[in-house]
Amino acid sequence: MRKQHSPRRLVVDERTVYLWTVRHRHGDGEPCRETLSLNRDSIRTRIVFRSGEGRDAGGGYPGHSGGVSDAHGHYANLNEPGVVRALVDEASRRGLLSGGGELDGWDLLPAVAVSRAAAATPEAPPGCPPGP
């Protein structure tokens, strides 16, 4: 069993390997936040989900550490490698990973939720939103 908070490996292709961790944090008077940290070739990118109006960043009932959801029904568990891969793919597609820094995870969540739902239902056409 791996130690909690120890980096995990995500292999995207033969040349691209990310080390990643997920953390739930609280700041002085700041809302809860879930942070997915990605490291590739000494470049660190943090995808941050801060709790707020219509946005839940895990940690408390009914959520869990690593779980993020919004008022539109989009949900992701940042502890799942498939979710991390979907976030990496979406951020890469948008050209956001090359310089490192901090990204707002809420901007990526809708596209990630749709791609994960499509992966779970392979008979659905690409880009089809989840649900009936």
Domain boundaries, the chain: 8-120
Choice between 63 and 99, residue whose per-residue pLDDT is larger:
99
pLDDT at residue 72, rounded to an integer: 92
Q: Where are the alpha helices (DSSP H) in the chain?
A: 81-93, 105-120
Name the residue with higher pLDDT: 15 or 5: 15
Q: What is the mean pLDDT of residues 34-48?
A: 95
Global pTM reads: 0.84
Mean per-residue pLDDT over the chain, rounded: 86
Q: For position 55, what pLDDT does the model report?
A: 92
Higher model confidence: residue 56 or residue 126?
A: 56
Q: Name beta bridge partners: 70.
A: 55
Sign of the torsion formed by the C-alpha atoms of 84, 90, 94 and 95: positive
Spatial neighbors of 130 by CB under 8 A, at least 6 apart, are: 113, 114, 117, 118, 121
Residue range 81-98: mean pLDDT, rounded: 95
When mean pLDDT is compared across 1-5, 51-55, 64-68, 100-104, the lowest value belongs to 1-5
Which of 52-61, 87-96, 110-119 has the weakest average pLDDT? 52-61
